[in-house]
Structure 1
Amino acid sequence: MRIALYQPEIAGNVGAILRLSACLGAAVDLIEPMGFAWDDRRVARAGMDYIDHVAITRHVDWDAFLATVTGRIALFTTRASQRLDVVRFQPGDLLLFGSEGSGAPDFVHERADLRVRIPLRPGLRSLNLGVSAGIGLAEALRQTNGWPQE
């Protein structure tokens, strides 16, 4: 299982997702440009000493990222009609999340094989990027029996 972040803007969110991914065994793809320098100390602080335990691939842009994709892209977006609790994940799926401020552009939506929405109570707009990634990854691992062995 992989998590991909499309042009993330907040270093702390990326650090938290790197820590999440290290603990649960998911690789991370970072699609640039990012809203911060890679060596920003907030990435290291949020990721703590877990960053050395996760496979991270940085891509200079969307096209460079696409050149590496072999499985389905499951885009998590508030614009999706498919709810997380009814989507069926496969082991090779790549879970893609848009940037914190603007989400994912239309061309990313068009390329996605699945568009997934985390159901929220009426009147509430969205979750934090790290929280969304945690919820999405947990459900995908549950469905594919991909949780780490203890």
Structure 2
Amino acid sequence: MTNHIALFEPLMPANTGNIARTCAATGTTLHLIRPLGFQTDDKHLKRAGLDYWDNVNIEYHDDLDAFLATIPDQRYLYLITKFSNLVYSDQDFTDTTHDHYFLFGKETTGLPEDFMRDNPEKCLRIPMTDKVRALNLSNTAALVIYEALRQQQFAGLELSHRYEHDKLK
């Protein structure tokens, strides 16, 4: 079982870089759905200090339909949006016989409204006040993936880490 974070037409390289780091740290596959608002060639990544990029399993998709075609069971697709009454932490992510896919929208406009209206049962929300339009994309992705991993008992992750000095004993 693998968890997946999918970014629909991401615009900001810093957000994608932060999410890629979270994916590297959690063993989560990152899906980037084109068009992207930045380049991911080696020169740009090195300049941005993304030295962990080669530790991220990244899949590129030409559009939303191409991404959706790769999901074997659409019941495990979750659309992260503020337009939902379902709270992300109330969802059960414990089924480890299937991959879980968390789809996040473009920083400026989110996911396509028609797509969300056609799939309200897949839409999940992070509670927040009405004082801001939205949470930062990379913070949102981290919240959601770590909730799924918590429910999955952090399977495959290092639960404790020792100081280098202690490892020598």
Same fold (TM over 0.5): yes
Q: Is contact 1:5–1:31 with CA below 8 Å preserved after alignment?
A: yes
1:81 aligned partner: 85
1:61 aligned partner: 63
CA distance 1:145–1:79, shift in 2 (3 Å): same
- Equivalent of 2:21 in 19, 22, 26: 19
Larger Cα Rg: Structure 1 or Structure 2? 2
Give 3-state SS (helix, strand or coil) of 1:137's partner: helix
CA distance 1:144–1:47, shift in 2 (3 Å): farther
Give 3-state SS (helix, strand or coil) of 1:133's partner: helix
Q: Which runs of 5+ in 2 are unaligned?
A: 159-169
TM-score, normalised to structure 1, is 0.89
Deviation of the 1:35 alpha carbon? 1.3
Q: Does 1:102 align with 2:109?
A: yes
Give 3-state SS (helix, strand or coil) of 1:140's partner: helix
Aligned partners of 1:47, 1:57: CA distance in 2, in Å? 20
Aligned partners of 1:141, 1:66: CA distance in 2, in Å? 22
Amino acid at match of 1:94: Y
Deviation of the 1:24 alpha carbon? 0.8
Aligned partners of 1:132, 1:16: CA distance in 2, in Å? 11
Aligned partners of 1:45, 1:19: CA distance in 2, in Å? 16
- Equivalent of 1:127 in 108, 131, 135: 135
Aligned partners of 2:115, 2:19: CA distance in 1, in Å? 21
Q: Calculate the aligned-residue CA RMSD, in Å.
A: 2.1
Aligned partners of 1:38, 1:53: CA distance in 2, in Å? 14
Q: Which moved more, 1:1-10 or 1:99-108?
A: 99-108
Give 3-state SS (helix, strand or coil) of 1:127's partner: coil
Aligned partners of 1:108, 1:42: CA distance in 2, in Å? 32
Percent of residue pairs identical? 37
Paired residues, number: 150
Deviation of the 1:38 alpha carbon? 2.4
Q: Which runs of 5+ in 1 are unaligned?
A: none
Q: Is contact 2:26–2:157 with CA below 8 Å preserved after alignment?
A: no
Offset from partner CA, 1:1-41 (integer Å, 9 cap, x none): 00000010111111111111001110001010111222286
Q: Which ranges of 4 or more aligned residues in structure 1 deviate by more than 6 Å?
A: none
Aligned partners of 2:134, 2:65: CA distance in 1, in Å? 27
